[in-house]
Amino acid sequence: MRLVAYSEDKVKDKEILLMVVDATDEELAEGVHESITLFDHRLTNALVENNSHTKSVWIESLDDCVCVFKVNDLPSYFRMFGQNAPYPDANVVIAAHILKGRMPELHSDIENFYAWLLPAMSAVEGRKPEDFELVNGQLVDQVTGDIYDVIEMYRLYLMLGNTLRLDATEDGRILVRSPRDPEVSMFDWLVEQNKRMEVYAASADLLAAYISFDDKNVSFTMTFVGRDGTTLKHVVNPSEFMYLVQHNYHPAIVVTGEGAEQVIHFDYRVLMPDAYHEFVDNTFDQSRATVKLLGFI
């Protein structure tokens, strides 16, 4: 059984909760349930209706829905969320169940990645397993103080086709990057990309368009300046930016929406593996807490 969608709304001054569930009749029978527990929530007087491929679960008052999420493995929970971390908000629990319904193998895939990552980092010259500790869902290097975001590293791992290169720097830090040596320098890539953005600016009747690199904050930003002086900025994900530089790719610029609703991004869907896009498409609007909670629901 998996949660497909969840909604809270008002219909004729009544607070209505709706869950859309993919389940068999044996798992969830049609009709009125005086009390039923679904996805770590206890529902009272819930109406279950069969649809063509799913089931709808309705309750007429949000007061009849109580989050009953409970952590069975507190030590692991504290390592993931921090010592004495409170239980997650009910909305985070629901979001995690929906994400689990979309990507049922995601948690085990991240666990398998972590099981590979820790020995791989420990195998870097001069390092050992006790140098690293999982704290608040991040891998902390006890020697250098560097902090590695495991989920962001997993994202990069997928982007690179299930591989990463770990190198030791002269000062003993670990450098995480693509196993492929770059075809051009970052400077040369930026020069060429900005030439292309100049062409784009002229074709879109803009005053200017350029991409810049902030070394201090390690961020990459596309900036578009309209004829009236209006400026629109879009921060490019660092991993995606480095991927483009590594492979010397110059994808097209895509602008959707108008005015305040405009969204700008690079169109590089064909340049990266499907597994990467599946992960990004399903997690881009989710908090880190939602993804980390998958191991506890």
Per residue in 215-264, pLDDT (tens digit) is 666 678 889 998 888 888 888 888 888 888 888 999 888 888 776 677 77
Question: What pLDDT was estimated at residue 196?
Answer: 93
CA-nearest of 202, 204, 267 to 234 is 267
Three-state DSSP state, 236: strand
DSSP string, 117-138: HHHHHHTSTT--GGGEEEETTE
- Structure-block tokens of residue 278: 């599946």
Which residue ranges make up each domain of the chain? 1-68, 71-161+273-297, 186-268
Report CA torsion sign: 107, 110, 116, 119: negative
Whole-angstrom CA distances from 124 to 121, 169, 179 are 5, 10, 14
Question: What pLDDT was estimated at residue 85?
Answer: 85
Question: What pLDDT was estimated at residue 218?
Answer: 61
Strands 41-50 and 14-22 come out as: unpaired
Phi, psi (rounded to 5 degrees) for 291: -65, -45
Question: What pLDDT was estimated at residue 13?
Answer: 67
In this prediction the pTM is 0.81
DSSP string, 44-76: EEEEEEE-SSSEEEEES-GGGEEE----S-HHH
Low-confidence ranges of the chain (pLDDT < 70): 11-14, 215-218, 259-260
Q: Is 247 exposed, middle or buried (0-12, 13-18, 19+ CB in 10 A)?
A: middle
Question: What pLDDT was estimated at residue 216?
Answer: 67
Whole-angstrom CA distances from 229 to 198, 203, 217, 232, 257 are 16, 17, 26, 10, 19
Strand-pair partners of 267: 252
